[in-house]
Amino acid sequence: MHDGFRLATTDDVDELVPLVHAAYRGEATDATWTTETHLIGGQRTDRDMVLDAITGPDAAVLVLVDEADDGAGAGRIVACCELGRPDARGRSLLGMFAVDPGRQSSGLGRRTLAAGERLAAEWGAAAVELHVIDVRHELIDWYRRRGYELTGERLPFPYDDDRFGMPRRDDLRFAVLVKRLPGRS
């Protein structure tokens, strides 16, 4: 792969589940701003969902492994994202985007997003699409600064599927954001 990223394997599942959980459902601290615990409790993903993302024919999971020389965490996965193959509209769906909370605000999120966009382009996608809970304004703004545009479309939150957590509010929806890839139509 590129820039230190590789495709996840089934051997990575047990490391990815807690990484994703920490990024989305971990405790809010000064080091992290991506937690959703004020909106959703419970799990963000489970072993079967991550395994399906890794082994399914229409998606892949990119991981970034810490290669630090200091030994503190070297060899651990510190960031990931799932990317779907382009749909009929030429869009690749990016999800399961997570950075180790202790490593947030260090540029790993930008690197991971860029790696996902490169893979989508290699697969022939014209654009990358992502879904963000629409009340997460700070996160939406972060994506917008990286070239993503709100489409105005809203998708329902899966209230009837506790695999995605236990909502703490009844007004959650997903905002759809899209970024056209350079050189693609």
Q: How confident is the model at residue 155 (pLDDT cuts 50, 70, 90)?
A: very high
Residue 1 has pLDDT above 70, yes or no: no
Are the beta carbons of 73 and 79 closer than 8 angstroms?
no
Tell me the pLDDT tens digit for each residue of 111-133.
Answer: 999 999 999 999 999 999 999 99
By residue range, what is the domain housing residue 12? 5-180
- Say if 78 falls within a structural domain: yes
Predicted TM-score (pTM) of the model is 0.88
What CATH number is attached to the domain comprising 78?
3.40.630.30
Q: For the chain, what is the domain count?
A: 1
Q: Which stretch of 34-38, 87-91, 92-96 has the lowest confidence by average pLDDT?
A: 34-38
What residue type is 116 in one-letter code?
G
Tell me the pLDDT tens digit for each residue of 128-149.
Answer: 999 999 999 989 999 999 999 9
pLDDT of residue 30: 46
Count other C-beta atoms under 10 Å from residue 177's C-beta.
Answer: 22
Q: Tell me, rounded to whole angstroms, the distance of Cα 138 from its chain centroid.
A: 15
pLDDT of residue 126: 97
- Say if 185 falls within a structural domain: no
